[in-house]
Amino acid sequence: MNQPLIHWIDYVIVILSVVLAVGLGLYFARRQKSTDTYFAGGRNIPAWAIGMSIFATLISSVTFLAYPGAAYASNWILLVQGLMVPIVLVAMIGIVVPLYRRVIKLSTYEYFERRFGFFARVYGSLAFVLGHFSKMGTVFFLVSLAMSAFMGIDIYTIIIVLGVAITLLTLLGGIEAVIWMDVIQGFMLIIGGVVCVGMLLFMPEGGPSNVFTIAREYGKISFGPYDWDLTQLTFLVMALNGIFYAIQKYGTDQTIVQRYLTAKTDKGAKRAAYIGVFMSVPVWTLFMFIGTGLFVFYHLHGGLPEGIKADAVFPHFIATQIPVGVTGLIIAALAAGAISSLDSDMNCLAAIGVQDYYVRFKPKSTDKQRLRVGRWVVAGSGVGSIGVALLYAYWGGEGVLGAVFGLYAIFSAGIVGLFLLGLLSRRANKQGLYVGIAAAVLFTGYALLTSTKFDFGGGEKKLLLDLGSWNFTHHKYMLGVYSHIVLFVVGYFASFLFKSEPADPELTIYGYLSRRKREKLEELAEEVVAAPVREAVSGGMPEQPSSRERE
């Protein structure tokens, strides 16, 4: 067991924050009488709270710990992915939010079935489950690694205790407890980040100006390299990855789409989405700057102690430089980051388990039975994610942030291509989609086998499949980008080989464009009708020209 690095007061603050999470679950438990309340909050939650929940879910402990670690070791290149999100969001959110609120009951992947059949629904939901189980394990590992060092408790105990607390919060309180806990945790994350930035700016000799001078000198505030090279981690690679990440997150990810359904109106749901992302980008930047500040701080103070890796730099700073009490609040914010991400995943996995699978095989089941199954899925996903985190802790966690992005790329499985194919093309059909999925799977298999090295014994790593000059040599983040493009292009052209009726325009972007056109015509008609009325009210006299018009 490690020696604890924090004061008993900090212990109390951290423990109280975890107890608060369980208590909030108990508070909302009495209201969880139906699946609509448990999974959609009765569709009556304020937009600002939903936006804060989206923000807290997007931030998580990955941002709190791994972003500073990445910026400390390199620069801000990994932030490029997040900077692409607002650009994509502004272009698509007005289309996607009304679409989902109109055509699905609960599961994002119900839209996939309505557009392409049941197989598309299963494919999408399984991609979500695989991707989020990997993410949940990573988050558990990150936060437990830090808290273990702080509290002198082994990482396995931390994983189990924190996992049980998060599972209880979600199991008892449903999406309402999840969202309102996220609101609290969102503010804690912001406060924790601002406190640390303030200290890193003013603690070093010379203050903020010296911090920025050293950071620029060592290239720490940079998004490069800017080479047109897809084989290395470059600005271009992260920008392309970020575009598809944004579409995947806001267009196909159950944790976000389910939030749209909890709002009272379409307008409220869109406002929540904007709040979530436009709060996330500054906070992502804030935590990247923490990594830069840490580099400057330890550069001026003789470097890090031996054995501390980049992912552990921020926890080391918190434990050794921040005052008693404040340390506890920041560690509580760290725990909050894990809770806000994981409780969302658990509730959404349960929603998928009930809506995509249980209801299909038990269509005559009562709402009470569905609610009971949902709770069992929450419990099962909690236990499963704890198991993944324990395995991750056993194997070690170097380059955790890179692993998260890599796993997203792999488990996305061309899902964005599927979504865009359904949204943008009425001609695309399920047969063409199946061909596209097969092509995406084959491509992904080829790319993984020819780019992944494995130790077969003897200490030397070799490719699983070596095709020489035909090996996949582009950066692993590009794998997800290519799989989406392959599925979309192959699926679209393959659809011409099969006869089918055009899709219902209400399931595509054309339904949205048609509604917008009707709305504008109706507004114009109202103006035409209203004009004589205004003239009559003014006494039947035409409006007098302005002084400028008379001149």
Contact (Cβ atoms closer than 8 angstroms) between residue 169 and residue 339 = yes
**d(Cα 173, Cα 483) in Å, to the nearest integer?**
38
Looking at residue 34, what DSSP letter applies? S
Contact (Cβ atoms closer than 8 angstroms) between residue 418 and residue 441 = no
Q: List beta partners, residue 45.
A: 263
In 3D space, the residue among 96, 62, 48, 69 whose CA is nearest the CA of residue 278 turns out to be 48
pLDDT at 551: 47
Using DSSP's 3-state secondary structure scheme, residue 461 falls into: strand
Joined together, the tokens standing for residue 524 give 């114009």
**d(Cα 282, Cα 166) in Å, to the nearest integer?**
27
pLDDT at 401: 52
Contact (Cβ atoms closer than 8 angstroms) between residue 327 and residue 318 = yes
Contact (Cβ atoms closer than 8 angstroms) between residue 173 and residue 338 = no
pLDDT at 459: 65
Joined together, the tokens standing for residue 57 give 């879910």
How many CB atoms within 10 Å of residue 90? 12
pLDDT at 521: 86
Q: For the residues of 347-374, what is the DSSP string, one character each?
A: HHHHHHIIIIIIHHH-TT--HHHHHHHH
Q: Report whether CATH 1.20.1730.10 matches the domain 8-28+42-396.
A: yes
Q: List beta partners, residue 384.
A: none
Contact (Cβ atoms closer than 8 angstroms) between residue 272 and residue 47 = yes
Q: Where are the domains of the chain?
A: 8-28+42-396, 409-502, 508-538
**d(Cα 487, Cα 480) in Å, to the nearest integer?**
11
Joined together, the tokens standing for residue 426 give 């009425």
Contact (Cβ atoms closer than 8 angstroms) between residue 313 and residue 321 = no
pLDDT tens digits in sequence order for the chain, 551 residues long: 455 567 788 888 888 888 888 888 888 888 899 999 999 998 989 999 999 999 887 876 667 777 898 899 999 998 999 899 888 888 888 899 999 999 998 999 999 999 999 999 999 998 888 877 777 777 777 788 778 877 888 889 988 988 898 899 999 999 999 999 889 888 888 888 899 999 999 998 889 999 999 999 999 999 989 999 999 999 999 999 999 989 988 899 999 999 999 999 999 999 999 999 889 999 999 999 999 999 999 999 888 887 788 877 888 888 788 888 888 888 888 787 778 778 888 999 999 999 999 998 899 999 999 999 999 999 998 898 888 888 878 776 545 555 555 555 566 668 999 999 999 999 999 999 999 999 998 898 898 889 877 766 666 778 878 898 999 999 988 988 999 999 999 999 999 999 989 999 999 999 888 888 888 888 788 778 777 766 666 655 555 555 544 44
E strand residue ranges, 88-167: none
- Cα–Cα–Cα angle for 24, 25, 27, nearest 5°? 60
Contact (Cβ atoms closer than 8 angstroms) between residue 163 and residue 382 = yes
pLDDT at 542: 52
Q: List beta partners, residue 527.
A: none
How many CB atoms within 10 Å of residue 274? 16
The sign of the dihedral angle between the CA atoms of 276, 340, 142, 190 is: positive
Q: Which helix (H) or strand (E) holds 171?
A: helix 155-202
Q: List beta partners, residue 454.
A: 462
